Structure 1
Amino acid sequence: MVDKVMIDGQEVKLTPELFESALAETGDNEAISRPSLTFWQDARKRLFKNPGAVAGLIILTCIVLMAILAPMFSKFDYKTQNIRHTKVPPNMPIVSSLGIMNGKNSNGVDVYKEKNIQEKYLFGTDSLGRDIWTRTWTGARVSLFIAVLAAVFDLLIGVTYGGISGYYGGKVDLIMQRIIEIITGIPQLVIVTLFIMVFDPGILSISLAMAVSGWTGMARVVRSHVLRLKNQEFVLASKTLGSSDFRLILKHLFPNVIGQIVVMIMFSLPSAIFYEAFLSFIGLGLQPPQASLGVLINEGYQALQNYPYMMLIPSTVVCLLIFSLNLLADGLRDAVDPKMRNQ
């Protein structure tokens, strides 16, 4: 029997005192190291840790509030013309101290004093004397409405179509995917043009074009996730217990795809806003005197050399709106992805 061992280069004799049992500390054995969080609580916590997503959320909130409140509290209407006040430069009280947007034209002439204008046009006026401040935020309303409409179509059509196609598979999936391929094979601009030939250019034609073709991307994403999940053990167990197809899709498959659905919706919003602005810019969307960011950019483009503010202001709002939505969507994608939890 070994009665000696080497410890730190010294020979130590084994004695019973070396083998005294230590008291076990059992007080913290059942303690939870961190609070229990649901999926959405954890996603929200990680979302607000992302500075880009927080910045995007703040910018988006400000634009939404301005789009709702600014036209309501403005003393000018978005389509009322005042020929005496045509092409008046912007005049903002706080910013004017910096030497910009101070009511002076490119020649340094104070237009407000020259025309004896008492009102203050924060964003100036256009070639017909209409208040650009009111028209800009009214146009932002249109852009936000189109974005919400795109999200509704994605939810109602894309999620339902993709879920049914992925769940049933086989011939059902084959036929449904061929229909999507036919729809996506037709350019959206062609679809919009066809609707404009039937209806007048405006929100109705854009909405119908989006209803026909805007949901296909969401349908494909949902289908791919449902195909991956429908053979998982929890789905097979529920099916074995007699759950109906509707219950399986609604209670088991849909909750496991909701994260990707939210991310896809967030990425579809800036695309819809850009789509509306582009169509209005080329004359296939809203028509003057209706206010749209695309209409305002088109009007400003025609007077770009002499009155750049007419194009710069609505272009900035469009860029901020799309930029904030992309930042928020990117942060939300990372927040709902379990693989990004420890990064």
Structure 2
Amino acid sequence: MSSNLEKLDLVPPDKVKGFFGSYYPPPELASHFINNKLEEIYSVKRVHIIVNPFAGKKNGNKIANLISQELQELKIDSITYTTEYANHAEKIVSDISFETGDSLMSVGGDGTISEIITGLLKRKDSSSDSVPLSIVPSGSGNSQANDMEVADYLDAMQRMTVGNLRKMDVGKVTFMVDGKEQIRYSHNLVGWGLGVDANILAEKMRFLGPIRYDLGSLMSIIRGKVRKAKCYIDGHLIDSSFILLLIQNTKTGGDRLTLAPMAHVDDGKMDLGIIYHISRFQVLKLFNQLKASGSHVWNPNVEYYRFKNLVIETDEPTAINVDGENLGTTPLEVNVVPSAIKVFH
């Protein structure tokens, strides 16, 4: 193997006895930030509130109004922007004229955060170095907020007014849409294979609420689709048939599923889980272990890596998902951008 290939050879703990037999306990969750050093204390003078009114329970506008009222009481200026279409948050952020003391606030889900970060990092100025982001969970999964333990808008505002900042890595994701190369910055996850199939099916069942993720996963497992691909992990080639490739910056994804329990958002790398061609029964067992707080990592059919650069090539374009959004197709490249943004912690 390549000397710069970081594969985690995880040793499972002793099984514990339960009502239905013995099982592996869930792994201990890694800290969200591995670096405990505060970046700086930031004094907010104005907040740009980016609202996705279609996210989650569609209560983003109501939450944004409450935030504006609270900020007014604190004598902090605010401007609210409401997104109207896909990628609108990216455009909004790219067009803002930032001033000293400005901050951004995301009121939406992980996809909204992704658009905001993308708009920030695509700017030609140094805004990504100076303008911090606070996160208000109002989406379906809220993985980043969940891992940061942000409970609601009041919690997010408390963190913002205290002003403690941490730097967070993101992944620069390059993919194809209608034959044209596109770039999105990922703070949460990038999926290829079964996870994307499940998400596509789940999006067609939004009326069912969070259970749609389980149903989408089960239907995808039954279909048992396997794909050939070339996967380059920091230059090391794995040419094989895969059920799933899951790239994680955060520990959780989907409806609070613990997908990468060892992941940190500031270690300069992203985590990768690989499942090769195995039987439907084995995949179903893995899914049940995953639901059990991430104990799937002890399964011998899961390989776990960390990387700085990842490339996925396929003979035919296949769907990819970035931060919960089905955006485009392979070929796919992910480059980790260390300490790319500042967030209120």
TM-score bracket, normalised by the shorter chain, equals under 0.3
More helix by share: 1
TM-score of the superposed pair, with normalisation by structure 1: 0.23
More strand by share: 2
TM-score of the superposed pair, with normalisation by structure 2: 0.23
